[in-house]
């Protein structure tokens, strides 16, 4: 985090040093390029993200990739509402992978957080954020940032600014005061004269105006689209099969390839005999990379068959003795003997823990590596011809993908085109630094005289993942004579510091949260809700243990430690009420509760669960209450929370990536089980609009799931779950 803070502060200072004129020119140049890339004959561009056609068609360019989260529709709702556009004529397209579409709104969202100065947005001009967005560059999909960042900070402003320009143009054309004009359904009307002008006939003149940077935004009472459950744009094509994912790309005379990489991460290719693969009918070429072998054929099946015929020899990179148990032992030793790399909290925890009359409690928790288990394995298609590399596929940052393709192919960025496509799942796996197939397609396409599509097998996808970190934690706390928590200490060892994602919401006089950096041979990367899953499980399981030590109801115990009149207590009260907390249940069933704030939203779950006679846990019902501020599309917001709950339950019940002799043990859904529809519970999601700033939704529904389930199972059996996955621990 320190490096990031310095980077953004220096980048901001450097941008300011460029001078206002230089920044203005850079921003104008980007807008001109954006217009050239998107606006054709009879189309007018506003801010790059919006164009209006002479036929009144409104096209919005989303910098975010569609992988099922529904953000394209919600972003369109936000812009179109401020624009007062006719929804029937609104379209959404994917923004090109180009610097002109660096996401200024995300710079405004992320830079203040990374710099440690939340009010930075108020002190820097928009041109600085534009420069940062184009040079970092920022075109990411992740961090629950689309709606609270791009939509709230960016698209609403673009829509309102374009509406203001259209009204000003109309006022001049009709020679009437702007205050007498009303915009609605892509038309501007003047009631006194009865004259009406369409957006399409105003757009060219309006687009030539300088858009205001701070237009007046609508108040909630003025919304026509925001807050409404409109149908998503992407669903029909996904239902009828016409949607094209990266794996669906087919080009004339195309070849297909697949990959076998070193089974031990960090290993290198030592030797491989190409002959067995080349003997397979349809195989045309074998390409040796630094740590992998690629087989190119006239179809996927011969490529896979040829790859399986090979017996490549790889080194183990010095990691051949690493296993999961050894990682947990090393993490425990770090906590025992090392100094923390990061520390947060307040008060004298050691003194509070040693105070007379307190009741201490300690516990150790562990969670494994987790794979994102996206339905679509890696697939990128590349073609190098006439000195230019063109690549098709889906990643979570198209601009950075283009940059990496140029780097690995040894080309300039201008010699590379990347066509971003919809994605069959991501959850953090497809951020370019962790997407190994980017380097593979760049190097392979340069060596094949045809378009070539690389498809990873499911086995390769599981064994070569970029996982949520394996993590260990030791928690210590003490109850004072009054039954309240007097001190709390969380020591945890894993790759990343979790403070940026997870909030400790409880009022405790002395707290400490200490991070010990542990680095394995695996790629520790993003996973849905990032580090909030680990810390959410640790905190909400341990406070449940403290509640039982105190002899208190887990809901009431939490409530007593939350600020009176605050958002957290309101969410907790609502979930208890909605779930019928404290009312009788069927024999053998019990409830568990958990509350986690992450990505600007507060989410609480109550889970009703039981255990079969053979020890199999069953989840029957989940009640969720979420305070994310305003919801743009309630139906889609509900789906996002439901998806997070199911993913959280799946990981808690059975998912784990384990290592033996340095290599991943799992290979497919047969040994990396994800939750089946048959085992999915009934889910009820409720929203509270507290008036707080809009928060994320793609991720906050996940973290409370595992602790709420573990707490319910304790209530049902008396057995405390401290290690995930739950698996057969209750047998």
Give me 53's structure tokens: 């056609």
DSSP assignment, residue 482? T
Burial letters 433-460, b for 16+ CB under 10 A, else e: ebbbbbbbbbbbbeebebbbbbbbbebb
The whole-number pLDDT of residue 428 equals: 94
The whole-number pLDDT of residue 135 equals: 76
Structural domains of the chain, count: 3
Query: Which residues, listed in sequence order, are joined to residue 363 by a DSSP beta bridge?
Result: 475
Beta strands in 289-399 (DSSP E): 292-297, 313-314, 342-346, 359-367, 379-385, 388-393
Angle 425-267-534 from CA coordinates, rounded to 5°: 45
Which residue numbers in the chain have pLDDT < 50?
Answer: 1-25
CA 307 – CA 97 distance, rounded (Å): 32
Closest CA to 211 of 110, 399, 85, 82: 82
584: CATH: 3.30.365.10
Question: DSSP for 119-166?
Answer: THHHHS-HHHHHHHHHHTT-----TT-IIIIIIIIIIHHHHHHHHHHH
DSSP assignment, residue 707? H
CA 550 – CA 614 distance, rounded (Å): 31
Q: Are residues 648 and 592 located together in one domain of the fold? A: yes
**How many Cα atoms occupy the beta-carbon half-sphere of 696 within 13 Å?**
26
Give the three-class secondary structure for 380: strand
Closest CA to 192 of 207, 177, 172, 206: 177
Q: Are residues 676 and 571 located together in one domain of the fold? A: yes
3-state helix, strand, coil in the chain (%, to 5): 35, 25, 40
Based on its alpha-carbon atoms, the radius of gyration of the chain, rounded to whole angstroms, reads: 27
CA 88 – CA 162 distance, rounded (Å): 18
Residue 460 belongs to some domain of the structure:
no
Report residue 516 CA to chain centroid gap. 24
Give the three-class secondary structure for 561: coil
C-beta neighbour count of 271 within 10 angstroms: 9
Q: Are residues 333 and 403 located together in one domain of the fold? A: no
CA 362 – CA 614 distance, rounded (Å): 30
Pick from 234, 259, 291: which residue ends a domain?
234
Burial letters 705-725, b for 16+ CB under 10 A, else e: bbbbbbbbbbbbbeeebbbbb
Residue 726 belongs to some domain of the structure:
no
Q: Are residues 102 and 145 located together in one domain of the fold? A: yes
The whole-number pLDDT of residue 9 equals: 40
Q: Are residues 548 and 598 located together in one domain of the fold? A: yes
The whole-number pLDDT of residue 583 equals: 98
Q: Are residues 656 and 511 located together in one domain of the fold? A: yes
Check if the beta carbon of residue 472 is closer than 8 Å to that of residue 276: no
Give me 44's structure tokens: 């007018």
Give backbone dihedrals phi and psi of 62, rounded to 5 degrees, phi first.
-95, 130
CA 265 – CA 269 distance, rounded (Å): 11
Pick from 234, 258, 280: which residue ends a domain?
234
* Residue-range definition of the domain harbouring residue 616: 325-369+467-717
Residue 290 belongs to some domain of the structure:
yes
Q: How far is CA 381 from CA 17, 249, 280, 392, in A?
A: 41, 7, 23, 5
Give backbone dihedrals phi and psi of 335, rounded to 5 degrees, phi first.
-65, -35
The whole-number pLDDT of residue 18 equals: 41
Give me 310's structure tokens: 């090979």
Q: Are residues 77 and 115 located together in one domain of the fold? A: yes
Angle, helices 532-550 vs 705-717, to 10°: value is 30
Q: Are residues 708 and 614 located together in one domain of the fold? A: yes
CA 295 – CA 279 distance, rounded (Å): 12
Question: DSSP for 208-257?
Answer: TSPPPSSPPPPPGGG-SSTTS-PPPSSHHHHHHT---BGGG---TT-EEE
CA 621 – CA 608 distance, rounded (Å): 5
Residue 555 belongs to some domain of the structure:
yes
Question: DSSP for 250-305?
Answer: --TT-EEEEEEE-SBTT--EEE---HHHHTSTTEEEEEE-SSEEEEEESSHHHHHH
Residue 88 belongs to some domain of the structure:
yes
The whole-number pLDDT of residue 440 equals: 98
The whole-number pLDDT of residue 25 equals: 46
DSSP assignment, residue 74? H
Q: Are residues 473 and 505 located together in one domain of the fold? A: yes
Residue 722 belongs to some domain of the structure:
no
Residue 724 belongs to some domain of the structure:
no
Q: Are residues 449 and 473 located together in one domain of the fold? A: no
Q: Are residues 224 and 253 located together in one domain of the fold? A: no
Pick from 172, 203, 234: which residue ends a domain?
234
Give the three-class secondary structure for 640: helix
Q: Are residues 291 and 418 located together in one domain of the fold? A: yes
């Amino acid at each position: 985090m320190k490096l990031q803070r310095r980077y953004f502060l220096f980048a901001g200072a450097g941008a300011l040093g460029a001078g206002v004129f230089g920044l203005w020119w850079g921003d104008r140049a980007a807008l001109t390029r954006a217009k050239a890339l998107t606006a054709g004959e009879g189309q007018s561009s506003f801010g790059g993200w919006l164009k209006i056609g002479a036929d009144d068609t409104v096209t919005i360019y989303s910098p975010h990739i569609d992988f099922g989260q529904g953000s394209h529709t919600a972003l369109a709702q936000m812009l179109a509402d401020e624009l007062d556009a006719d929804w029937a004529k609104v379209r959404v397209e994917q923004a090109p992978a180009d610097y002109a579409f660096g996401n200024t709104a995300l710079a405004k969202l992320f830079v203040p957080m990374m710099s440690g100065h939340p009010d930075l947005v108020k002190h820097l001009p928009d041109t600085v954020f534009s420069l940062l967005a184009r040079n970092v560059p920022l075109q990411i999909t992740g961090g629950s940032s689309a709606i609270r960042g791009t939509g709230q900070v960016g698209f609403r402003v673009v829509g309102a600014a374009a509406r203001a320009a259209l009204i000003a143009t109309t006022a001049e054309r009709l020679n009437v005061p702007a205050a007498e004009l009303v915009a609605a359904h892509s038309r501007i009307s003047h009631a006194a004269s009865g004259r009406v002008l369409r957006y399409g006939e105003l757009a060219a003149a309006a687009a030539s105006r300088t858009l205001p940077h701070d237009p007046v935004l609508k108040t909630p009472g003025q919304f026509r689209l925001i807050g409404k459950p409109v149908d998503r744009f992407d669903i029909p094509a996904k239902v009828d099969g016409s949607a094209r994912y990266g794996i669906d790309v087919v080009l004339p005379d195309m070849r297909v390839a697949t990959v076998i990489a070193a089974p031990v991460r960090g290993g290198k290719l030592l030797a491989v005999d190409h002959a067995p693969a080349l003997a397979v009918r349809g195989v045309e070429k074998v390409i040796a990379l630094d740590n992998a072998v690629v087989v190119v054929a006239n179809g996927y099946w011969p490529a896979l068959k040829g790859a399986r015929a090979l017996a490549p020899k790889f080194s183990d990179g010095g990691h051949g003795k690493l296993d999961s148990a050894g990682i947990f032992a090393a993490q425990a030793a770090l906590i025992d003997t090392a100094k923390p790399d990061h520390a947060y909290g307040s008060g004298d925890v050691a003194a509070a823990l040693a105070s007379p009359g307190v009741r201490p409690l300690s516990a150790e928790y562990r969670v494994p590596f987790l794979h994102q288990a996206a339905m679509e394995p890696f697939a990128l298609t590349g073609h190098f011809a006439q000195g230019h590399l063109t690549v098709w596929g889906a990643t979570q940052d198209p601009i950075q993908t283009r940059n990496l393709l140029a780097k690995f192919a040894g080309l300039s960025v201008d010699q590379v085109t990347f066509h971003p496509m919809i994605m069959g799942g991501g959850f953090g796996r497809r951020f370019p630094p962790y997407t190994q197939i980017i380097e593979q397609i760049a190097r392979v396409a340069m060596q094949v005289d045809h378009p070539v599509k690389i498809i990873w097998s499911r086995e390769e996808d599981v064994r070569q993942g970029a996982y949520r970190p394996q993590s260990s934690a030791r928690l210590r706390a003490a109850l004072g004579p009054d039954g309240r928590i007097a001190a709390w200490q969380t020591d945890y060892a894993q790759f990343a510091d979790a403070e940026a994602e997870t909030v400790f919401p409880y009022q405790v006089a002395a707290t400490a949260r200490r991070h010990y950096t542990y680095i394995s041979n695996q790629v520790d990367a993003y996973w849905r809700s990032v580090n909030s899953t680990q810390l959410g499980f640790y905190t909400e399981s341990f406070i449940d243990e403290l509640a039982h030590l105190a002899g208190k109801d887990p809901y009431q115990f939490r409530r007593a430690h939350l600020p009176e009149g605050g958002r957290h207590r309101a969410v907790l009260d609502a979930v208890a009420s909605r779930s019928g907390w404290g009312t009788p249940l069927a024999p053998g069933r019990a409830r568990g509760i958990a509350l986690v704030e992450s990505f600007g939203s507060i989410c609480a779950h109550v889970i009703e669960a039981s255990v079969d006679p053979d020890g199999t846990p069953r989840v029957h019902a989940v009640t969720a209450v979420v305070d994310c501020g305003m919801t743009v599309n309630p139906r889609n917001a509900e789906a996002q929370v439901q998806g997070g709950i199911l993913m959280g339950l799946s990981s808690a019940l059975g998912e784990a990536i384990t290592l033996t002799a340095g290599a991943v043990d799992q290979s497919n859904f047969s040994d990396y089980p994800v939750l089946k529809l048959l085992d999915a519970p009934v889910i009820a999601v409720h929203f509270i609009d507290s008036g707080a700033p809009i928060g994320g939704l793609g991720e906050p529904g996940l973290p409370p799931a595992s602790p709420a389930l573990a707490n319910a199972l304790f209530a049902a059996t008396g057995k405390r779950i401290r290690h995930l996955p739950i698996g057969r621990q209750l047998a």
